[in-house]
Each structure stands twice: as structure tokens, then as C-alpha cells.
Structure 1
Amino acid sequence: MSRSMLYSFWSLFIAVHTWLFYEESLGLNGLIFSMVLVSFLTWYHQLQTQRKWWLGAGGHLISALAVFWHGDFTSSLMYYLSSLVVAGLMYSPKGSLPVLLLNGLLGSIGSALVASVPVLWADMRKSLAELPFVSGITSSKAYLYVAPATVSVLFYLLYYSANPDFFLDISFPDFELNFKLAGYVFMGVIITAPFFFPWGLAGLVEWDKDKVDALKRYKSKNKGSKALGLAYENLQGRAMFGMLNLLISIFLVFNMLQVFIPQMVRSHSNHSQQVHQGFETLMISIVIAILLMMYYFRGNQNFYSGRARLIRMAMVWILLNGLLALFTCYKNMLYVDLYGLTYKRIWVFIGIVLTAIGLLFTFYKIQNLKTNWYLLRRNAWTLYFVLALYGIADWDRVIVWYNVNFAEELDMAYVTSLGTTTLPYLTDRLADNDPRIEVYRKRIDEKVLSLQLTRSSWQSQTLDDVWLRQKLVR
């Protein structure tokens, strides 16, 4: 593609970005811009066969859909973060997610534009030189015309002073520069630059490429008086996992007995504190478990002939941590049944899912001789998609619906503090004369009256806005 065509597309995207987002909030505009951008970049940079491109672009499109659906803070934040990933993919389509995010951030705050200035300047000079009235003009030829033009202007001023009617009226229409719009256009120039002029930290990208997923055996002897040999390190690992397996087994049995024999509970912490403390313990345990796996299954230890027993003990450790995750999930479910859902309890479930996936990747790494970088990369992409999918759901409505219908103790103060999308369901329950909600009728009515349901521009339109107008505007 010619440079002039590249600049034409860039200018078009700057104009579209300004048209869609200037003085607008995120909504339909985000989805439209992202769909056009992903389609164009896939075609322009020939990314159809790049697997990580589809991972990054897929997460971005999911976030764009969440923005069009809800337009809330969480989905908007993920939309911007995934945009940085897409920008980073322009420079290194096979990079790891943290590298993509960093390069995308640096490119989107001006680095890509600054790096492209020499190219832009060279292209501009070349284009000017090709113009008919400019081509062939050298500095000596330009000087040839400077003196006559200067003298002519001086004589014009002399004649004008002699006769004021001899005046060349050059008037321009009144024009006032909109600095706010100009600033936003310039911001669009900066934001879109990395999509057309990819930029990144070359050294970081090369370092990332060198960190392969598959393990290789190194034919070098372990040197250093302080370094453990493979046999001693293997023995140490077996002792470590043996002790940890015994300890976590006792811990699991003790916790299960406390569930079925309440008299064994001696601490004064309530159910909520027990669940959250248990979740924190689970997180710490899983992180330590994965770090231990990464340490004892690194390098040539994976090719040691006596590694089979260490693998079995590590698998037991993974299994027991999985059981701890299930038990924490069960305790959280008991708490939800009693007091209902909250955002903290939802994130306990999400955290348990993430830890389970992390343990599965750890199991796969050990069985298939993968590096620690493989584990970190897979977990990073998992977190990326979980956060993108998290924005799709309207958790306020989920919480209210579940708590009103299933919670044994309904915390209406918490329910009425949630977002505006819960109001249609609450007003329906008021119409059904639900005695638990009737006490809060005044607060709910005030929230409905204070709700701004004026029709926003089509760029900022969200599905939630449309739905609320249909439900609440009579």
C-alpha cells in the first residue's frame, strides 16, 4: 500500500474517532469503532493467521460489546485496557500479554507518534518536491525571486502612502478556533498512531521471543558449591511436598469436621470473616503451590531420571489444593444461601475459578515439559478473558434478583444501594406488595424520579438506557 493511502486511512480513522467520541460517553460508538478498527487492522496488517491477534482482538470486541450493553466503569476500563493490547499487537503479533500491554501503553501516549515524525517529515518533503510549482526550485533559484518580490512590496507600500485609495483589500471571514475540538483531534492523532505506525521496545520484544514455551535440556553440569545437585534437589522437593501434603490434608479434614460439628468452632469470627479468611488462605496457598512447582520443575530437573516420584507427590499437592478450592467454594455457597450475593462473594467464586484454571495449567506444564513462561503466559491470557467476560453481565441485576428470591436474610439497604438497572425489578416487586420491599418504597421512588432518562445521542446509546426507558417511562 502506498504511503499516501496509509495517510488517507489514518486521517479517516482520526475523523471517525472524533465523530464518534467527541463530547460523548462510551456506548454504541465503542462497538462501532472497535468492529471497524479490528476489521481494518486484520486486513491491512495481514493478521488473519495470527492466533494471538484473534485472542487480543476477541477480548477487545467482547469488551466493546459490554460497553454497548452497559457502559459502566468496569466495562469501560476493560475496553481501554484491551485497546492497549490491540495497539501492542501491531508491533509484536506473537508477544506475551504483559509485553503487548506495555508496548500498547507507550505507543498510545505518544511514543508511536514521536517515532513516526521523521518518516512523516521525509514523506511531506518528498510530496512537496513533486508538486509542479515546487519541483525544480533550488535555493539559488528561490533567492533569484526573493529580491524582486521584496522590492515590489516596498514600492506598493510607498504608492499606498501617497494615495490611500490605492489599497488591496484582503479580508478573511470571521473564524474562531475551537481549542477543545482541536485538542480532541490531536488526542485522536496520538491514540490512533500505533495502529498505523507500530512502535515498541525492541529489546523487550526480543527478550520475550527468547523465552520459549517448551523445555530444553542443557548439557551442562551444575557448578558452584552452594548449588544442589539434581538428586539432592529432587530429594528436597519430595520432602517438601510430603510435608505440605500431610499438613493440607489435616487442615482439610479439620475444616470439614467444623462444618458438620459446630461445637469444634472456637473462634469468635462470623461466617463472613471465615469465608473471606478461607479465600485469602486459598489464594496464598495456590500462589505458593504454583511457585513451588515452578521452582522444582525448572530446567534439567524435568529430565532427571528419578523425577517420577516427585511428579506424583506434586500431583497430590495440586489435587489437595483443588479440594481446598472446592471446600472454600462450598462455604461461600452456604454463606450466599443465607445472606445472598454481593460483589465480594461473586469475586470469591471468580477467584476460585481462576485458581482452578491455574492449577490445571500447572498440571499440564509438569506433564508436558513446559517452561515457567508458558505458565505465566497462559494465566495472563486467562485473566484477560475472564475480565472481559465479567463486563458482559449486569451483576447489579443478578444480585438483586437472586437476593430477593433466594436469600434467607434480605439486606435491602445493600440492594437499594446498587445501580439503576435494578429499579424495574424493584418497582415490579412493589407492585406485587412485597412486604420486605414495601418499607423502602420511598427510597426506590426517589431513585426512579431522580433518574435521568433523557434520550442521549445515538453515539452514547447503551442497551441498558433503551431498556430502562421502556420499563420506567410511562
Structure 2
Amino acid sequence: MKKLLLFIGALLFSTLFYGKSIGLNLFLFSITTLIVLFANNKDDFKSKRTIIYSSLYLATGLAVFFHDSSVAIIANFVSFFTLIGLLSENKSSIYVNWLNGLYTTIAGLFHRNFSINEVTQKVESKKDIDFMHLAKLIFIPAVIVIIFIALYQNGNPLFNDLIDKIDFSFINIQWLLFAGLGYYLFSNIHKPVEVEPATELDLKTGNTLTQTSKFSIPKLKQENQLGIILISLLNVLIVIFLITDITFILTNLDIRASVFSTQVHSGINALIASIVMAIIILLYVFRGNLNFYKDNKTVKRLAFTWIILNAILVCSITIKNGQYIYYFGLTYKRIGVLIYLTLAITGLITTLLKIDKVKNIWYLLRLNTKAAFVVLILASTVNWDYHITNYNFNYAKSIDLNYLIDLSNNNTFLLKEKAEAQSLNQDNIQRIEKKYNKYVYELRNNSWQELQYDNLKLETK
């Protein structure tokens, strides 16, 4: 039954994707993948974590149907690897899930059936498979049948006519090869495997920092003094920077786009450098036994202050980016800045927790990679092109129509509505009409595998 399911999955894979662009097929493939995984890993699907990750995987596939964006497609692929890796080991970290998921997708079948002999360093089969016998079963009968067909054709005109009438032109070799690729894929993932020793190391590594045997009071006293001096100076420096930055914001409410752009980008560069340096320095200062030194309260308070000041710096950049958006509209880069600021705040909070709760670097890595995954999934559910266009027409002080027209087709219907409702110059109206007509033509020529939500919207127009 399970083998039959793999064959059905392979045929569906080729039916959905061979010669087709991305649309409804990716969502249907997500459903097919979950069916194959559930049939072979029923116990794992009793876990709430597995159910959540399966739901996220389906959500990204549905997002691709509603708006065929690159972000949604990337999120679907990442959630696919995450789910596969989770099924290989439910308790592993999310970055190990990605590793296991990618490895399973590429070489799961090979891993399950072969192993490396540590003595001879040769790949050996895990099963007693007589490959020579299999070759005989396939090739010898095939060759003999072909020879006898040729003999019978010469010996019987009616048989020769019957063979000549057999037409195999309906067989699409490329489609069959694509189905073979689908079978290989499902054969790999139906029973996910682990990458060792990465998975084992991850499971053995906890989040809590432990005191080492080299606990020297004199050395810790010196480290504590160094930490106090260094972080105190950095606190003074960032306070001066923030005062000048806030003064600039309050005294320059109406400035040119080029000035805003320079300020935002330089602010982001300062923020990147500040946060990276903050995390590196704090990880160094609190890397070991200083966490257990009884007189470390001052250096901890200074570290917390520095983290809070960095958070204020994030708020400052957010305000400037918001002003930039208000005057000159939304773009992907400005949205990217907001996403980065969200991840920056997350990084600062987790660093604070790491110091306060005496955690190790793996704690930071696990939390922040999980946060990045969540942000990617949330970002994939938004039709950014539509919202960029809608915001810029309704709220931005100035509109860059060239930018909006050059966006993907996800804003095409909205652009058409705005072109009809507002007074635009003739050149822009023609460009929007050209984009609209081209997109409508593509939608009307979509096969059922390539259907998008816009196909349904088009039918209601």
C-alpha cells in the first residue's frame, strides 16, 4: 500500500509540475506530501509540534495560490525542509531540522539502503539485494522478447501488420522521467533520516551555561573590571549618538528624499555594527565563569543598559524609516528595513535573556533561527505588491509610478482600478493597460495546475 502511495505521488508530481508554472499545483503538492508523510509516520503526527509545522507548510502553499510571490515560494520550500527534518528527529533544533530535511530530500533513499563501512571505507548495502539477479530479470526477458518479435514479423505478414500498427507516440518520455524524479523525491522523504553526528550533538547540547573547573577569583576580578570599563564607555558613546540622532529627527521634519535615504541607510549600518558588536562583546564577556562571579552585578547592569540603549536606537531608525515611507512611499527595501528591525529587537531581547538566565550561545542560535523562520512564514502570507501599491496611492506624499508598474502582477488589478479612478498621464495609463492585458491573457491561458486566486477574481469582473 505504501509503495502504491509513492507511485501515485510520483504520477501526481509529474501531472502537477511538468511544463507548468507555479500556482495551485504547489498547494496540491503540499497536501500530497502531507498524505505521504502521514501514511508512513503516523506516530509523529500525534505531536502538537508536527501538527503546527504541517499547518504552516500548508499555509505557505495556500499563500502561493493567493499571491504567487517569491517570498511565499521560498517560505514553502523552507517549511517543507523544516517539516521533513522535524519528522527525522522531533526534539532537534530548527536549524538541524533544515539540515536533516535537505539531506533527506537529496539522499534519503541512499541513506536508508546503504552505509559506509568504517574499516574498509566503502559503501555497502544495508539489505541483501542481488543486483545481478534484478538485472537478469529485466534485461534478459526484454532482449529475448524483442528478438522473437523480429522473427515473428518476418514469419507472419498479419503479425507484422499488427506490430506496425502499435503506436507509442502517446508516451511522453520527458513526462515519465519527471514522474521518476517525483518517485525519487517521495522515496527519499517518506521516512526522513538524520544527519549524524550533527543531530546527536544538538540533542546532547543544552541551553544552560555551566561553571567550569577553572574558576579563578583573581582572573574573574580582572575580567569583571575590563567588562565594566568597556561597556561603560560604549554606553556613553551610544547615549551621545542617540541624543544627536533624536535631535536630528525633532529639528528636521521636512527634508529631501536623498537626505532621508542617507540617514536611514547610515543609521541601519550603525545599527548592524552596533548589534553585531554588542552581541560579540557580550558573548565574550559572559562566555564562562564570570556569570557565576558574585561581584558581577555592576557589569550585568551595564550590559542590560547597553541592550536597552540599542533597542532605543532601533526605535530611532524605525521612526526615520516611517518618515521616509510617509513622504516617499513603501518599497521592498523599506519593508526589508522594518523586518530587519524586528529581528534586531528579537536578537537584543534574546541576548538580554541569555545574560539574565545564564544561557549559552546555542540558546541564542535556537531562539533567533526560530524567530527568523516565523518572520519568513508571516511575510509569505502578505501580498506585498498589493499593499505597497495601495499605500502609495492613498497615503504617500509622492508616488513613483514607474516602481509600481514594474512590480509583479500581484498589483495589476489594483493598478487598473487606480488608473481609471485617478488622473494619470497618458503614458502611464498605456503602460498599465499593457500590463493588465498581458496579465489577463496569461490568466486565461492558465491550466488547472497553474490557477491562482486572480483567476477567480477575473471571472467576477
Q: Which residue pairs with 1:346 in the alignment?
A: 335
Pick the structure with greater CA Rg: 1
The one-letter amino acid of 1:180's match is Q
| TM-score, L = length of structure 1 | 0.81
CA contact (8 A) 1:84 1:101 kept: yes
Deviation, structure 1 residue 463:
1.1
Quote the Cα distance in structure 2 between the aligned partners of 1:394 and 1:206.
40
- Is contact 1:107-1:193 (8 Å) kept? no
Q: 1:94 aligns with which of 86, 91, 95?
A: 91
1:9 to 5, 10, 14: 5
Please point out which of 156, 159, 168 is paired with 1:175: 168
- Quick one: which amino acid aligns to residue 302 of structure 1? N
Do the aligned partners of residues 107 and 268 (structure 1) sit closer, same or farther apart at CA in structure 2, a change above 3 Å counting?
closer
Distance change in 2, residues 1:118/1:236 (3 Å): closer
1:196 aligned to 2:190? yes
Change (3 A) 1:228 1:82: farther
Q: Which runs of 5+ in 1 are unaligned?
A: 130-149
What is the aligned partner in structure 1 of residue 138 from structure 2? none
- In 2, the alpha carbon distance for the partners of 1:23 and 1:420 equals 21
% of aligned pairs identical?
A: 30
Matches within 5 A, 1:252-401: 252-262=242-252, 270-401=259-390
1: CA distance between counterparts of 2:257 and 2:163?
A: 85
Q: What letter matches 1:71 in structure 2?
A: D
Q: Residue 184 of structure 1 aligns to a residue in which SS?
A: helix
Task: State the 1:39 CA deviation.
Answer: 5.3
Note if contact 1:421-1:468 (Cα within 8 Å) is conserved in structure 2. no
Render the CA deviation track for 1:428-448: whole Å, top value 9, x for unaligned: 23333x234666212212222
Do the aligned residues in 1 keep the contact of 2:444 with 2:455 (CA within 8 Å)? no
Deviation at 1:312, TM superposition (A): 1.0
Q: For 1:203-214, what aligned pairs fall within 5 Å after superposition?
A: 203-214=197-208
- Does 1:30 pair with 2:19? no
Is the 1:90–1:194 Cα contact (8 Å) retained in structure 2? no
Q: What is the SS of the residue equivalent to 1:292?
A: helix
Q: Judging changes above 3 Å, is the alpha-carbon distance between structure 1 residues 98 and 251 closer, same or farther for their aligned structure 2 residues?
A: same
C-alpha spacing 1:164/1:309, structure 2 compared with 1 (3 Å): closer
Aligned position for 2:400: 411
CA contact (8 A) 2:282 2:303 kept: yes
Are the equivalent residues in 1 in contact too, given 2:101–2:192 (CA < 8 A)?
no
1:74 equivalenced with 2:71 (yes/no): yes
Match of 1:250 among 240, 244, 247: 240
Measured in 2, the distance between the counterparts of 1:239 and 1:52 equals 45
Structure 2: tracts of 5 or more residues without a match: 116-124, 135-143
Query: Do the aligned partners of 1:87 and 1:194 also contact (CA within 8 Å) in 2?
Result: no
Partners of 1:199 and 1:61 lie apart in 2 by 22
Deviates further, 242-251 or 67-76: 67-76
CA displacement, residues 178-224 of structure 1 (integer Å, 9 cap, x when unaligned):
22112211211222223223233211111222221123333x1259x
Q: What's the offset of the Cα at 1:40?
A: 5.1
Distance apart, 1:427 and its partner CA: 2.6
- In the TM superposition, what whole-angstrom CA distance separates every residue of 1:63-116 from its partner, at most 9, and x where no partner exists? 21211211222212222232222222232222222222223223222x112234
1: CA distance between counterparts of 2:24 and 2:220? Answer: 58
Structure 1 range deviating more: 436-445 or 176-185: 436-445
| Contact in 1 for aligned 2:326/2:396 (Cα 8 Å) | yes
1:423 maps onto 2:434 in alignment: no
Question: Aligned pair in 2 of structure 1 residues 319, 14: CA closer, same or farther (>3 Å)?
Answer: same
Give the direction of change, closer, same or farther, for the CA distance of 1:57–1:283 in structure 2 (3 Å limit): farther
Aligned residues: CA RMSD: 3.6
Give the SS at the match of 2:316.
helix
